[in-house]
């Protein structure tokens, strides 16, 4: 995967190519925990509220950029899809029950420490 180097609050981050501006913009004014959970719920993840509060800035920014793009691409918008973040790999988003019926909420998860 191609990456680009950006600087965020004095830290150097390697991010997927084509998403540098999105990361910088989100890091300048990061989403609060409720907004972050709402964005993640759009694509099937329901992180624990107390867990989200402990996430470092990089992880919060990555979650917003990834989930926002996934939501847009699911609506057939012609957007570049962000690769699945390493910390989300292996955690399947909720996709409905066996009949394909969506229920009231996505499956909760806790990030491994």
Least confident piece of the model among 1-5, 10-14, 73-77, 89-93: 89-93
Rounded-to-integer distance, Cα 49 and Cα 47, Å: 6
pTM for the whole thing? 0.81
What digits encode the pLDDT tens for the residues 39-94? 998 888 888 888 999 999 999 999 999 999 999 988 777 889 999 999 888 777 76
Helix %, strand %, coil % of the chain (to 5): 40, 15, 45
Specify the pLDDT at position 7: 96
What does R_g of the chain's alpha carbons equal in angstroms?
14
Q: What is the mean pLDDT of residues 92-106?
A: 60
Rounded-to-integer distance, Cα 52 and Cα 87, Å: 13
Specify the pLDDT at position 90: 76
> Long-range contacts for 28-32 (Cβ within 8 Å, ≥24 apart)?
30/57, 30/60, 30/61, 30/64, 31/60, 31/64
């Amino acid at each position: 995967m191609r990456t680009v180097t950006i600087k965020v609050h004095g830290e150097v981050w390697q991010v997927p190519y084509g998403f540098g501006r999105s990361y910088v913009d989100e890091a300048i004014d990061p989403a609060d925990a409720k907004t972050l959970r709402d964005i993640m719920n759009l694509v099937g993840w329901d992180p624990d509220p107390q867990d989200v509060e402990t996430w470092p800035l990089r992880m919060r920014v990555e979650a917003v950029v990834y989930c926002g793009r996934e939501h847009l691409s699911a609506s057939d918008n012609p957007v570049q899809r962000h690769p699945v973040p390493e910390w989300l790999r292996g955690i399947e988003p909720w996709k409905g029950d066996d009949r394909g019926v969506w229920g009231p909420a996505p499956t909760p998860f806790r990030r491994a420490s």
